[in-house]
A and B are shown apart, each in its own frame.
Chain A
Amino acid sequence: GNSVTQMEGPVTLSEEAFLTINCTYTATGYPSLFWYVQYPGEGLQLLLKATKADDKGSNKGFEATYRKETTSFHLEKGSVQVSDSAVYFCALSDLQGGSEKLVFGKGTKLTVNP
């Protein structure tokens, strides 16, 4: 079945450092890809998405490009802030019989120190 693999971390960075969180997927067809973020005690918030190959999703300085050839959707940010500390989840959409579900990676905890 469809699956997502992401680096589990935890990742600890200093403020203004460069961030990369790797995500690769296995899927039949061409699913949409997502990055969600979860702050402590909260639910998930959509950070960005890409719906087809070579699409680049971006939001709040974060970017990820849908790479069909490498089946990857790595998350990057040029300069992280303390407020970016959270858990990040890579996910794909799995369409079955007209119903869509999200398949998530295990999550990567990011801590940014001042």
Chain B
Amino acid sequence: KAGVTQTPRYLIKTRGQQVTLSCSPISGHRSVSWYQQTPGQGLQFLFEYFSETQRNKGNFPGRFSGRQFSNSRSEMNVSTLELGDSALYLCASSPMTGLNTEAFFGQGTRLTVV
């Protein structure tokens, strides 16, 4: 069974640009969550999608957005990039939501904003 796939693995963007990251969950998984990992703040929850609906959102500005498609694939978008958005962005998928099920993580997308 293929794992969680995130693309691209590495990305360099300029301040002010926007970026879209993609996540393909494990087949059959309907819940997709996104996390931001930085050396200073650690791992922080961005949002969670289940059946194309955003069920939960972390404490991030509106520049961070996401969506989920009918095949459960998810994208997150960051507009007007800032230097502080440089981070490893991790996607996790689960079969369900709200049932303390295991989250399976992808390898992440390393975003560098210059």
Contact = CB atoms under 8 A, between A and B. Distances in A.
A99 B55 contact: yes
B111 interface: no
B98 A46 contact: no
Interface in A88-109: 89, 91, 93, 95-107
Interface size on A, as a range, is: 20 to 34
Interface in A38-57: 41-46, 49, 51
A100 B45 contact: no
A32 interface: yes
Nearest to A46: B102
B42 A95 contact: no
Secondary structure call for the B interface: strand
B97 interface: yes
Given A43-B90, A43-B106, A102 B45 contact: yes
Contact of A32 (B35, B45, B100): B100
Secondary structure call for the A interface: strand
B48 A100 contact: yes
Contacts of B56: 96-97, 99-101
A98 B56 CA distance: 9
Nearest to A93: B100
A99 to B, nearest CB: 4
B107 interface: yes
A96 B54 CA distance: 12
B100 A51 contact: yes
Interface of A: 32, 36, 41-46, 49, 51, 89, 91, 93, 95-107
Interface of B: 4, 6, 31, 33, 35, 42-43, 45, 48, 50, 55-56, 58, 90, 92, 94, 97-108
20 contacts: A32-B100, A36-B105, A42-B107, A43-B90, A44-B92, A45-B105, A46-B104, A95-B98, A97-B56, A99-B48, A99-B50, A99-B55, A99-B97, A100-B48, A100-B94, A100-B98, A101-B56, A102-B43, A102-B45, A106-B42
